[in-house]
A and B are shown apart, each in its own frame.
Chain A
Amino acid sequence: MNWPMVAFVVLGGITVYSGWRVATAPLVTHAALFLAVTFAGVGGLFFLLQADFLAAVQLLLYAGAVMTVVIFAIMLSEMKDIEEPRPRGWLGALRSPSLGALPFIGAVLLFAVMLVVYLRGAPALPVTPLPAPTNSTVFIAGALFKIYALPFEVASVLLLAAMIGAIILTRVEGGRRR
């Protein structure tokens, strides 16, 4: 048991547990906070993989910006906390998000798969992995603006469409023109 291994198990465990709690927390605000923990955990996993740029982006954008927007959305929509109906019968109890066994089993299975792949993965990958770039920021910039320039541009159109859509759908005047 070496240190990266311990770090992986701890971070993976935190990520999986908080991911499960996102789905099962009875309060929306709690779910949002657990989501922040999940994002941070994934950022930590990126660090372990020596993808420092991705880790920084994950922390800044997801744990930072995206979480802020999520909390804003909860505040602005005055969302009432989700009232979960009492589960009925043994099938209901099995499926119920916070009490049931199925979501828990799913989370444990996912964790087990991750662990097995990690334990057995290193020597037997089907393809030889790319040589780790010494400066991943430069590497990613090259990939983004040279190789993947088209998807990058299309993504900007996508964001524009999503923004216009958000404005159209939330405009208050109610569909009539001026």
Chain B
Amino acid sequence: MDFGAVWPEIILAGVGMLLVLLDPFVGAKRQRALGYLAVGGIVAAGIATLFEPRTGEVALAGMVILDPLSLFFRLLFLSAALLVTLFSFGFLQERDQDVGEFMALLCFATTGAMVMAISWDIISLYVGLELLSISSYILVAFLRDERRSHEAGLKYLLNGALASALLLFGLSLIYGLTGTTAIPVLGRQLAAALGHPYGGIVWLAVGLVLAALAFKIAAAPFHLWAPDAYEGAPTPVTGYLMVVAESAGFAALIRLVSTGMGPLSTEWGIWLAGLAILTMTVGNVTALWQQNIKRMLAYSSVAQVGYILAGIAVATRGGVGSTLFYLIAYLFSTLGCFAVIIALSARGHGEQIADYAGLGRRRPWLAGLLTLFFASYVGIPATAGFMGKLGLIGAAIHGDMAWLAVGIAVNSAISIGYYWSVARTMWIDPVPEAAGAIRASAGGSISLVLSAVGVVLLGLVPQMFFHLSQWASAGVIR
């Protein structure tokens, strides 16, 4: 058996194990070294990814495929993991937490996400999903001194387990109906099974799979766990889940639904389009009332998931391409926001939106960058979000779902409300009396700058990334 096709995953999981192994021998003073090891592992896995073939060859007895989409998602997850690792250092040391264990779990979770994205069989996809999920449950509950971190971990575990059960039930029905676990053959077999006396079970199976993946990406009405889990989790983990766990959910949707269930796209296209509209509306409207910034960003991420779903619902190559582009934009905007929040929380700065009063005068750079990331979320021209939404709206119109395009536009307008209220608090409200000093850690500053550069680059010179995402989506719709 030749495992050459999964070198990046082997490297990353190996570094995770090495971290656990070294952790007991590294003193509390030298914990940073473990963080550097994790950074090195992520970079090495990224380099290994670049050397993997990308011509669509199927490897490991049909378990994985090495196509442009695999390359895209591997690099996406590794970039996100790198940024999260960089701003986790300071956060963990501030709270006297164990860096080695945290980084090891981060490596395992990222390995799981990558296995999901390269899967060409529902078994490897499911195992990857579970590796990602179980590592994430532990990461959410990682701050053992904090009650709400525990509560968040438990809620995430229970909801995630339910979603896994639904997914397994759906996948087992699919196997029963088609007799295969290979993603490329599923669609034809499912379409053939429709004409059968049990044809109705096909829709039960598709519905279960869609509901389970909707749980994982936190799409309404399956999003109820997300605000609690995202608010209670350690802040770097919240950023990680919003970007990596949700993007991995989208990778699974693209593999399993866009490609695997392609022949049934007229049906699930409508279901997903309805889900997209509901998700963006519920996310945006609920976000208007939030007082806690992490909770507000949680609802805002629900809304973003709604936009991204639109690209998959239209079931065209262009739609998947704009989904991929938006995922890059979403990565930089989200992790940028979290780099700012973590920099602020370092000296006991609160998480309430009211605590951000007068930030524009105290730390104009941080406030300015947070405003930039919000602008990208809304879709102001010259930011990443603008180009991303343009692509999604274009794909919706080309896919004969103009009402979906209208939904995205209307929802972007609604979202200005809550982003503006934070911006107003930062720039216009007076500085509170008891404001302490704020100092960003070196790693946090690096990831902040990288995110900002990403947002601006995607907004000003998007061509390269457009080509990348179009190239990566080439083989998806068959």
A120 surroundings in chain B (CB, below 8 A): 197
Q: Judge if B17 is at the interface, Cβ distance under 8 Å.
A: yes
Q: Judge if A82 is at the interface, Cβ distance under 8 Å.
A: no
Check A168–B63 contact: CB distance below 8 A. Answer: no
Please name the residue on chain A nearest to B63 by beta carbon: A150
A129 surroundings in chain B (CB, below 8 A): 179
Within B185-208, the residues touching A (CB, 8 Å) are 189, 192-193, 196-198
A70 to chain B, nearest CB (A): 15
A128 surroundings in chain B (CB, below 8 A): 179
Annotate B105-147 by CB proximity to A: 1 below 8 A, 0 otherwise. 1001101100100000101101110110011011001111100
Q: Judge if A79 is at the interface, Cβ distance under 8 Å.
A: no
Given contacts A160-B17, A165-B138, whether A174 and B145 have CB atoms under 8 Å apart is yes
Check A150–B60 contact: CB distance below 8 A. Answer: yes
Q: Judge if B219 is at the interface, Cβ distance under 8 Å.
A: no
Q: How large is the interface on B (under 10, 10 to 19, 20 to 34, 35 or more residues)?
A: 35 or more
Please name the residue on chain B nearest to A158 by beta carbon: B131
A39 to chain B, nearest CB (A): 16
Within B348-403, the residues touching A (CB, 8 Å) are none
CA separation between A178 and B98, bound complex, in Å?
10
CA separation between A176 and B31, bound complex, in Å?
13
Q: Judge if B96 is at the interface, Cβ distance under 8 Å.
A: yes
A127 to chain B, nearest CB (A): 4
CA separation between A169 and B3, bound complex, in Å?
33
Check B145–A175 contact: CB distance below 8 A. Answer: yes
Among A5-13, A27-35, A141-149, the stretch that binds chain B is A141-149
Check A126–B196 contact: CB distance below 8 A. Answer: yes
Complex partner residue of A154 from B61, B131, B138, B193, CB under 8 angstroms: B131
Check A158–B145 contact: CB distance below 8 A. Answer: no
Check A164–B101 contact: CB distance below 8 A. Answer: yes
Q: Judge if B309 is at the interface, Cβ distance under 8 Å.
A: no
Annotate B1-17 by CB proximity to A: 1 below 8 A, 0 otherwise. 10100100100010011
Check B127–A158 contact: CB distance below 8 A. Answer: yes
B331 to chain A, nearest CB (A): 23
A148 surroundings in chain B (CB, below 8 A): 61, 63, 123-124
B13 surroundings in chain A (CB, below 8 A): 157
A178 surroundings in chain B (CB, below 8 A): 28
B97 surroundings in chain A (CB, below 8 A): 175, 177
Please name the residue on chain A nearest to B17 by beta carbon: A160
B8 to chain A, nearest CB (A): 13
A164 surroundings in chain B (CB, below 8 A): 20, 101, 104-105, 138
Check B96–A175 contact: CB distance below 8 A. Answer: yes
B202 to chain A, nearest CB (A): 9
Complex partner residue of A150 from B17, B64, B193, B197, CB under 8 angstroms: B64
Check B142–A168 contact: CB distance below 8 A. Answer: yes
Check B127–A161 contact: CB distance below 8 A. Answer: no
CA separation between A124 and B121, bound complex, in Å?
26
Given contacts A126-B198, A151-B124, A175-B96, whether A165 and B105 have CB atoms under 8 Å apart is yes
Annotate A57-85 by CB proximity to B: 1 below 8 A, 0 otherwise. 00000000000000000000000000000
A119 surroundings in chain B (CB, below 8 A): none
Q: Judge if A162 is at the interface, Cβ distance under 8 Å.
A: yes
Check B127–A155 contact: CB distance below 8 A. Answer: yes
CA separation between A124 and B176, bound complex, in Å?
12
Q: Judge if B62 is at the interface, Cβ distance under 8 Å.
A: yes
Q: Judge if A105 is at the interface, Cβ distance under 8 Å.
A: no
A157 surroundings in chain B (CB, below 8 A): 13, 16, 108, 111, 131
Q: Judge if A91 is at the interface, Cβ distance under 8 Å.
A: no
13 contacts between A and B (CB under 8 A): A127-B193, A129-B179, A147-B61, A147-B62, A148-B124, A154-B9, A154-B115, A157-B13, A161-B105, A161-B109, A164-B104, A169-B144, A175-B144
Binding site for B on A (CB under 8 A): 117, 120, 124, 126-130, 146-151, 154-155, 157-158, 160-162, 164-165, 168-169, 171, 174-178
Q: Which 8 residue pairs are nearest across A and B when measured between Cβ atoms? A: A165-B138, A127-B179, A126-B193, A175-B144, A151-B127, A150-B63, A161-B108, A158-B131
Binding site for A on B (CB under 8 A): 1, 3, 6, 9, 13, 16-17, 20, 28, 31, 60-64, 96-98, 101, 104-105, 108-109, 111-112, 115, 121, 123-124, 126-128, 130-131, 134-135, 137-138, 141-145, 153, 177-180, 189, 192-193, 196-198
Given contacts A129-B179, A147-B61, A154-B127, 14 further A-B pairs with CB under 8 A are: A126-B192, A127-B189, A147-B63, A149-B60, A154-B112, A154-B128, A157-B111, A158-B112, A158-B127, A160-B17, A161-B131, A164-B101, A164-B138, A177-B28
